[in-house]
């Protein structure tokens, strides 16, 4: 009897000591782990939906960029006008290939169109697998390179279009848009379309940076 009573007293004292030391029962730990993991899963799902929304918007803007870049390329490549009067030796006409800057514009914007079309599958992959980093990193790198090419082509062509409309009195360069009105109007529209493409590409780069920051 004395031994059993002493054993009970020792077990009771040890259990009290464990409660004082703050040891939690083992049966409560699994439920606590499950409850703590629920907010993490919900947060990951919310971030995934956020990235998927960015990827969908990216695809829409990319398709719009294809349209504007095609418009710029076709507009400049088809720019040309022939005046109704001519002499025995001369025929007055203007075309994009008469100016090296406009030729560079057509080549550069053709490269932009090709890249934007090829980048659409990568944008679709980002929608299907929003947590993948590699396609998004590929897009932000090449979008930056393409926006540089587009800006150089549009900027150089803007200077030529300005001179065509206004001329330069100091250099005795006459404005020829008074005679070649259709040609100047077409080239001006192509340059405007190129600048719209630049704005869209800039938004695409910002979206890619935001999506990468979320990883």
pLDDT per residue as tens digits for the range 89-148:
566 677 788 889 999 999 999 999 999 999 999 999 988 887 788 888 999 999 999 999
> What's residue 90's pLDDT?
61
Q: Residues 3-25: what's their mean pLDDT? A: 48
Residues 211, 48: contact at Cβ < 8 Å? no
Compute the mean pLDDT over every residue in the chain, rounded to the nearest whole number. 78
Picking from 33-42, 77-86, 110-119, which range would have the lowest pLDDT averaged per residue? 33-42
pTM of the complete model: 0.73
Picking from 19-28, 77-86, 142-151, 187-196, which range would have the lowest pLDDT averaged per residue? 19-28
Q: Among candidates 113, 123, 118, 17, which has minimal Cα distance to 69?
A: 113
pLDDT per residue as tens digits for the range 183-193:
888 999 999 99
CA angle 165, 166, 170 (to 5 degrees): 145
Bridge partner list, 168: 173
Q: How far is CA 175 from the centre of its chain?
A: 38
Assigned token pair, 147: 């926006």
Residues 127, 182: contact at Cβ < 8 Å? no
Cα–Cα distance measured from residue 133 to residue 116, given in angstroms and rounded to the nearest whole number: 19
Q: Among candidates 158, 166, 145, which has minimal Cα distance to 191?
A: 158
Per-residue pLDDT at 27 exceeds 50: no
Q: Among candidates 115, 186, 104, which has minimal Cα distance to 152?
A: 104
Cα–Cα distance measured from residue 79 to residue 97, given in angstroms and rounded to the nearest whole number: 9
Assigned token pair, 120: 């659409």
Q: Residues 37-58: what's their mean pLDDT? A: 66
Q: Residues 160-185: what's their mean pLDDT? A: 80
pLDDT per residue as tens digits for the range 96-108:
888 899 999 999 9
> What's residue 61's pLDDT?
96
> What's residue 195's pLDDT?
97
Per-residue pLDDT band at 75 (split at 50, 70, 90): very high
> What's residue 205's pLDDT?
95
Q: Residues 1-9: what's their mean pLDDT? A: 47
């Amino acid at each position: 009897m004395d031994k059993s009573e002493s054993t009970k007293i020792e077990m009771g004292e040890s259990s009290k000591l464990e409660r004082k030391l703050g040891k939690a029962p083992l049966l409560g730990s699994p439920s606590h782990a499950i409850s703590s993991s629920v907010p993490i899963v919900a947060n990951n799902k919310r971030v995934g939906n956020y990235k998927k929304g960015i990827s969908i918007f990216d695809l829409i803007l990319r398709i719009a960029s294809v349209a504007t870049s095609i418009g710029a390329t076709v507009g400049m490549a088809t720019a040309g006008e022939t005046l109704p009067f001519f002499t025995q030796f001369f025929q007055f006409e203007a075309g994009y290939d008469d100016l090296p800057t406009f030729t560079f514009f057509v080549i550069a914007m053709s490269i932009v169109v090709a890249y934007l079309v090829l980048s659409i599958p990568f944008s679709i992959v980002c929608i299907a697998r929003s947590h993948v980093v590699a396609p998004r990193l590929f897009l932000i790198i090449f979008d930056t390179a393409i926006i540089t090419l587009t800006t150089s082509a549009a900027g150089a062509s803007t200077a030529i279009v300005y001179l065509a409309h206004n001329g330069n009195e100091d250099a005795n360069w006459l404005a020829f848009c008074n005679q070649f009105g259709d040609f100047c109007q077409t080239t001006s529209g192509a340059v405007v379309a190129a600048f719209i493409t630049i704005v869209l590409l800039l938004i695409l780069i910002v979206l890619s940076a935001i999506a990468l920051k979320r990883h």
